[in-house]
Amino acid sequence: MKNTRRHFLHKITASALALTVIPRLGMAGLPDMTEAPYDGPVLRVAIMGLGGYGTRVAEAMKDCKKAKLVGVISGTPSKVKAWQEKYGIPEKNCYNYDNFDNIKNNPDIDAVYVITPNALHHSQAIRVAKAGKHVICEKPMALNAKEGQEMVDACKKANVKLLVGYRMHFEPHTLEVIRMRQAGEFGKILFFQGLCGFKAGDPGQWRLNKELAGGGSLMDIGIYALNGARYMIGEEPVWVTAQETKTDPQKFKPGVDETIQFQLGFPSGAVASCLSTYSMNNLDKFFLNGDKGFAEMQPSTGYGPIKGRTHKGELNQPVVVHQTLQMEEMSDIILHGKQPVVPVNGEEGVRDLKIMDAIYEAVKTGKKIALK
Residues 228 and 209 in one domain: yes
Residues 124 and 35 in one domain: yes
The DSSP symbol for 372 reads -
Known catalytic residue at 62: no
Report yes or no on 137 lying in a domain.
yes
pLDDT tops 80 at residue 348: yes
Q: Please provide the size of the chain in residues.
A: 372
Q: What are 303-319's pLDDT values in tens digits? A: 979 999 999 999 999 99
Phi, psi values for residue 103, rounded to 5°: -65, -15
Residues 157 and 287 in one domain: no
The DSSP symbol for 200 reads -
pLDDT tops 50 at residue 331: yes
Residue 243: in which H helix or E strand, if any?
A: strand 239-245
Q: What are 180-194's pLDDT values in tens digits? A: 999 999 999 999 999
Q: What is the mean pLDDT of residues 196-214?
A: 95
Question: Which of 167, 182, 206 lies at the terminal end of a domain, its last residue?
Answer: 167
Tell me which residue range forms the domain holding 102. 11-167
Mean pLDDT, the chain, integer = 92
* Encoded amino acid at 50, one letter: L
Residues 235 and 356 in one domain: yes
Known catalytic residue at 53: no
Q: Name every residue whose Cβ is closer than 8 Å to that of residue 218 and which is 6 or more positions away in sequence.
A: 226, 257, 260, 262, 276, 356, 359, 360
Phi, psi values for residue 354, rounded to 5°: -60, -40
CATH number at residue 47: 3.40.50.720
The H-assigned helical ranges of the chain are: 5-12, 52-61, 77-87, 118-130, 145-157, 172-182, 210-213, 217, 223-233, 322-336, 346-365
Phi, psi values for residue 281, rounded to 5°: -95, 180
pLDDT tops 90 at residue 26: no
Q: What are 229-280's pLDDT values in tens digits? A: 999 999 999 999 999 999 999 999 999 999 999 999 999 999 999 999 999 9
Report yes or no on 206 lying in a domain.
yes
Phi, psi values for residue 110, rounded to 5°: -95, -35
How many Å apart are CA 88 and CA 98, to the nearest integer?
23
Q: Name every residue whose Cβ is closer than 8 Å to that of residue 355 and which is 6 or more positions away in sequence.
A: 226, 237, 240, 264, 371
Q: What is the mean pLDDT of residues 147-171?
A: 98
Report yes or no on 332 lying in a domain.
no
Q: How many CB atoms lie within 10 A of CB 27?
A: 6
Q: Name every residue whose Cβ is closer than 8 Å to that of residue 354 and which is 6 or more positions away in sequence.
A: 145, 371, 372
Of all residues in the chain, the percent with pLDDT exceeding 70 is 91
The DSSP symbol for 299 reads S
Residues 138 and 215 in one domain: no
Choose the catalytic residue: 53, 113, 224, 360. 224
Residues 294 and 206 in one domain: yes
Q: Name every residue whose Cβ is closer than 8 Å to that of residue 11 and which is 6 or more positions away in sequence.
A: none
Q: How many CB atoms lie within 10 A of CB 175?
A: 19
Residues 129 and 258 in one domain: no
Report yes or no on 4 lying in a domain.
no
Structural domain total, the chain:
2
Report yes or no on 292 lying in a domain.
yes
pLDDT attached to residue 14: 39
Cis peptide before 140 (omega within 30 of 0): yes
3-state secondary structure of 172: helix
3-state secondary structure of 133: coil
Beta bridge partners of 195: 275, 285
Question: Which of 150, 167, 184 lies at the terminal end of a domain, its last residue?
Answer: 167
Residues 53 and 160 in one domain: yes
Q: What are 83-130's pLDDT values in tens digits? A: 999 999 999 999 999 999 999 999 999 999 999 999 999 999 999 999
Residues 183 and 147 in one domain: no
Assign 6 a pLDDT band (cuts: 50, 70, 90). very low
Report yes or no on 111 lying in a domain.
yes
Residues 153 and 260 in one domain: no
Residues 136 and 205 in one domain: no
pLDDT attached to residue 34: 53
Give me the half-sphere count of Cα atoms (radius 13 Å) on the Cβ side of residue 343.
12
Q: pTM of the prediction?
A: 0.91
pLDDT tops 80 at residue 19: no
The DSSP symbol for 268 reads T
Choose the catalytic residue: 53, 95, 133, 139. 139
Report yes or no on 208 lying in a domain.
yes
Report yes or no on 5 lying in a domain.
no
Nearest to 6 by CA among 67, 53, 38, 43: 53
Residues 237 and 352 in one domain: yes
Question: Which of 119, 135, 167 lies at the terminal end of a domain, its last residue?
Answer: 167
CATH number at residue 306: 3.30.360.10
